[in-house]
Structure 1
């Protein structure tokens, strides 16, 4: 049986878990925090989460895991069959990761641990986030379609949703800025995604684990 390593507050962990639940996969969940524990390093060489363990071995990096899941379990697809449309889905996912999630992550020390982030980093992150929102507005099919890549939910919806959870939190805390409002149709899409049964399940688990996670972060 598949094993999924990570913790409920991690948005990358939730991207993978959402995809696995959507596909109806059976898996064991192993609560694991990033670190240099030798036993975990053998599974995830950078000590990062998430990681999945398969009968053939372990895989890390969210995009790698998601592509593996789609290839290994195609019965309930999250990617289009058309090569160009599949690439467009991956394009949205890459923009969400590089220009929404990662610049917002640079703000985490102040948002999560109360450690002041420099004005230079705040300015750089805001500029990248602004460009990322403009790129998304150009790429997604909202508000004319229910999902970001068209009529059907894809991995792009899952990745963007969990990227936006942490990015929106950071943007609101640091800039008093509503990122979701920057992209036409995204507020309605975000609400629709949040109401999915899988989303509510993962959000509940994340909320329940947040206090312990914040205590651990502030203790470092």
Structure 2
């Protein structure tokens, strides 16, 4: 059986888990925190989560894993058959990570650990996310999903990238980024209402204690 290494608080882990649950793929979860076990590097060379273990071996990096899942488990596709439309979905997935998830994480020292983030970093992050909102308004036009009536991998990835972004921007700037893109709030509500999203959100809340304990133990 497919094994998925990671932890419930990880957005990247949840992207993979959401795709697998949507496709109805059976898998085993292996609780793993990054950088805690040197032996894990044999499976994920950079020690990152998620990682999957297949009959062929292990595979790391979320975007690579998602592409493998789509190819290996084609039932209930999350990528269009048309190559151009598939590329457009991949384009939005990459932009979600670069302009929402990763900038938001730069604010986490202040949001989660009480450390001060410099004004320069805050200004840079705000500018990056603002540009991301402008790009998203061009690329994704929810109807009700980003590319029409059918959910794609872009919806899954953006959903978890936005969790990071909303948490960070709300805490630091008191900024509602959903208001920046037409239709994004309705899309966000739609994604959150899905049974899979509710399941993963619940697991995230329940797993926060173990995650914080692991972080304190590492420190």
Query: Fold conserved (TM > 0.5)?
Result: yes
User: In the alignment, what sits opposite 2:146?
Assistant: 148
Aligned counterparts, 1:108-187, within 5 A: 108-142=108-142, 145-187=143-185
* Separation of aligned partners in 2, 1:210 and 1:166: 14
- Aligned length in residues: 218
8 Å contact kept, 2:100–2:164? no
What residue is the counterpart of 1:193 in the other structure?
191
Gaps of 5+ in 2: none
Specify the alignment match of 1:86 in structure 2: 86
Any residues of structure 2 matched to 1:12-161 within 5 Å, and which? 12-35=12-35, 37-142=37-142, 145-161=143-159
C-alpha deviation, 1:75, in angstroms = 1.6
**What is the CA distance between 1:179 and its match in structure 2?**
1.1
Question: Which residue matches 1:3?
Answer: 3
- Contact 1:112/1:218 (8 A) holds in 2: no
3-state SS of the aligned residue for 1:28? Answer: strand
Q: Secondary structure at the match of 1:199?
A: helix
Alignment pair present for 1:213 and 2:218:
no
Deviation at 1:116, TM superposition (A): 1.2
Deviation at 1:106, TM superposition (A): 0.7
* Cα separation, 2, equivalents of 1:218 and 1:183: 38
Query: Where does the alignment leave 5 or more consecutive residues of structure 1 unmatched?
Result: none
Q: For 1:113 and 1:126, how far apart are their aligned partners in 2?
A: 20
Tell whether the 8 Å contact from 1:113 to 1:217 is kept in structure 2 after alignment.
Answer: no
State the Cα deviation string for residues 27-82 of structure 1 (Å, max 9, x = none): 00001000052220000000000000000011111100000000111121000000
CA distance in 1 between partners of 2:158 and 2:206 (Å): 22
**Aligned-pair distance for 1:120?**
1.0
The answer as to whether partners of 2:50 and 2:60 remain within 8 angstroms in 1 is yes
Q: SS of 1:53's equivalent?
A: strand
Using the size of structure 1 for normalisation, the TM-score is 0.96
RMSD: 1.2
Q: Aligned equivalents of 1:217 and 1:167: distance in 2?
A: 21
Give, in angstroms, the shift of residue 218 of structure 1: 5.7
Structure 2 Cα separation of the partners of residues 105 and 46 of structure 1: 19
- TM-score normalised according to structure 2 size: 0.96
